[in-house]
Amino acid sequence: MEKGNFMETNLVMEGVKFMFLGMGTVFTFLIIMIMCMNAMSYIIHRFFPEPQSNATAQTTGGAQQQDKKKIVAAISAAIAHHRQG
Amino acid sequence: MKNIVLKLLASMMLFAFVFSANAAASEHAATVAADAPQASKTHKEENYQSKPFSEMITGFLKSTGIVALVNPRPDEMSATGQPMSDFHKGAGRVIMILVTFLLFWLAIAKGFEPLLLLPIAFGGLLANIPVAGIAGEHGFLGVIYQMGLSNEMFPIIIFMGVGAMTDFGPLLSNPKTALLGGAAQFGIFGTLVGAVALSQAGFVDFTLQQASAISIIGGADGPTSIFIATKLAPELLGAIAVASYSYMAMVPIIQPPIMKALTTEAERKIKMSTLRHVSRLEKLVFPILVLVLAILVLPESTPLIGAFMFGNFLKESGVVERLNDTLQNALINITTIFLGLGVGSKLAADQFLVPETMFIMVLGIIAFSVGTAAGVIMAKIMNLFPGTQINPLIGSAGVSAVPMAARVSNKVGMEYDRTNMLLMHAMGPNVAGVIGSAVAAGVLISLFQ
């Protein structure tokens, strides 16, 4: 297909077509994904909330995760500071 | 007395019997032996002639690597069985060996993705050895390539491991940042247009398949690049993989200038609200959700997305800790060794030292830069709409390069406001970028079916 002269003149147009199709597909996919994620989160929070009996354990888990995030942030802050200084 | 005579007789008879049996056996052996030496003698005579010692020494010297490099053998074929030019057999190999030394230096002294660059570079070193044919069909690099690269197996296994290492929590708590991961894929398709425009202008002769394989470097995702390159343009695999991994290692150098050029100081200081807590069930359902979407929208992307989500599902299920651990550590490490060596086999001089490689390197860095810019611009566009503001610095993390790109966003953000932690916010577009480039890869594959 790349050998034909008549195709060669259209190669850039082919590339542009690829671009529109590709970016269109990527965005369509991600937009559908975002909508599904929102719907999923809503359904899960509405109908399957995390069990109450485990609530304390879960919150501590969450708190631990928060702590971990804070630690990660603190470490990266320290690294950034170190690199600057 | 009589008894003794009897015994003697008996023993003599026994002797006689043993002797005769022995004789028969040796006779048989002699006939066999007579057959065998004749065969081996003629065999030997075909291959080996007695030579004077001086001739043996000159013969041996002719088989050394130095002679093979300086005075290439006319009958030596490339790994693919094609005839090679004398340049690719001699000086080209020396240049490539020096290139692999440069890669060693980058990996060891500069810390450029050493986990992959070292195996790739060493594979390249081995592939450029004259006479030995290590990258050839029966050499061990060639066997590794056949085993897992030509059938796209290794990138898929790597994807499983990456899936097991990925936490979709940040993305789930702020889903709209996934759009940034989509915008960064513009680096892929923008470069695709650039590559076909170059070959249109007559600088270089890239087919549409080759242009697609090169442009996927813009996805900043090593396994995806290798997956697409082996599928669409295996002859360019070496250059594409090296470009992809070296630019990924250079993300902290390439991205910040682009990010700063496209944003104002006020935008760089935007603070983002803390991420909400994501329940375990959400994390468990998410991989299945994305896979179902991929099945419905773009089945061509399911090899990559399926493997990725398999790894992530094992991790989030929380009941197969051993498998999760193997995916994250042992399996991905073993596969990385083989993947690196297999890719390195494509660094043979006759495949790498071609004009196309230079264009691939240039197009690759353009792809990276365009992807970074597109992510940042997308974040600015999203800020035009009502809703919570997004710091445009996390847009650059939309190119996959997990987690390097997210760290860069965090670092640049902190240059302007030391209390502004963007790392977790940037992980959202970062992992969405992996999904985005897998989708883009699926589109490219489906276009050439």
Q: Of B422, B166, B438, B412, give the one whose Cα is nearest residue B293.
A: B438
> Structural domain boundaries of chain B?
100-447
Chain B residue with minimal CA distance to A36? B289
Residue A50 DSSP symbol: P
pLDDT per residue as tens digits for the range A9-63: 678 898 999 999 999 999 999 999 999 999 999 999 999 887 755 444 445 555 6
In this complex, do B436 and A80 lie within 8 Å of one another by their Cβ atoms? no
3-state secondary structure of B201: coil
* Residue in A21, A34, A77 closest to B175 by CB: A34
User: Average pLDDT of B243-257?
Assistant: 90
Residues B214/B240, Cβ–Cβ less than 8 Å: yes
Q: What is the CATH number of domain B100-447?
A: 1.20.1530
> Using 50, 70 and 90 to split pLDDT, how confident is the model at B12?
low
Is B138 within 8 Å of chain A by CB? no
In this complex, do B188 and A22 lie within 8 Å of one another by their Cβ atoms? yes
Tell which of B207, B272, B277 to mutate to test the A interface (max A CBs under 10 Å).
B277
Q: Is the pLDDT of residue B66 over 50?
A: yes
Is B179 within 8 Å of chain A by CB? yes
Q: Could you report the predicted ipTM of this complex, rounded to two decimals?
A: 0.82
Taking contacts as CB-CB distances below 8 angstroms, the residues of chain B near A16 are 193
In the block, residue with structure tokens 């790894």:
B311
> Structural domain boundaries of chain A?
5-84
Q: Of B181, B219, B216, give the one whose Cα is nearest residue B195.
A: B216
Q: Is the pLDDT of residue B433 over 60?
A: yes
* Residue in A14, A38, A72 closest to B196 by CB: A14
In this complex, do A15 and B447 lie within 8 Å of one another by their Cβ atoms? no
pLDDT per residue as tens digits for the range B221-244: 889 999 999 999 999 999 999 899
CA distance A26 to chain B (A): 6
Distance of CA B243 to the CA centre of its chain: 11
Residues B195/B215, Cβ–Cβ less than 8 Å: yes
Taking contacts as CB-CB distances below 8 angstroms, the residues of chain B near A37 are 171-172, 175, 178, 286, 289
Amino acid sitting at position B242: V
> Using 50, 70 and 90 to split pLDDT, how confident is the model at B211?
very high
Q: Is the pLDDT of residue A72 over 90?
A: no
Q: Is the pLDDT of residue A4 over 50?
A: no
Tell which of B173, B186, B276, B279 to mutate to test the A interface (max A CBs under 10 Å).
B279
Q: According to the model, what pLDDT value does residue A50 have? A: 78
3-state secondary structure of B202: coil
Q: Is the peptide bond before B175 cis (omega within 30 degrees of 0)?
A: no
Using CA atoms, how far apart are residues B338 and B344, in angstroms rounded to an integer? 10
pLDDT per residue as tens digits for the range B298-348: 999 999 999 999 999 999 999 999 999 999 999 999 999 999 999 999 999
Using CA atoms, how far apart are residues A81 and A74, in angstroms rounded to an integer? 10
User: Average pLDDT of B38-45?
Assistant: 52
Using CA atoms, how far apart are residues B279 and A43, in angstroms rounded to an integer? 12
Chain B residue with minimal CA distance to A11? B196
Distance of CA B261 to the CA centre of its chain: 33
Is B276 within 8 Å of chain A by CB? no
CA distance B211 to chain A (A): 9
Q: Of A60, A33, A61, give the one whose Cα is nearest residue B318.
A: A61
Q: According to the model, what pLDDT value does residue B6 have? A: 60
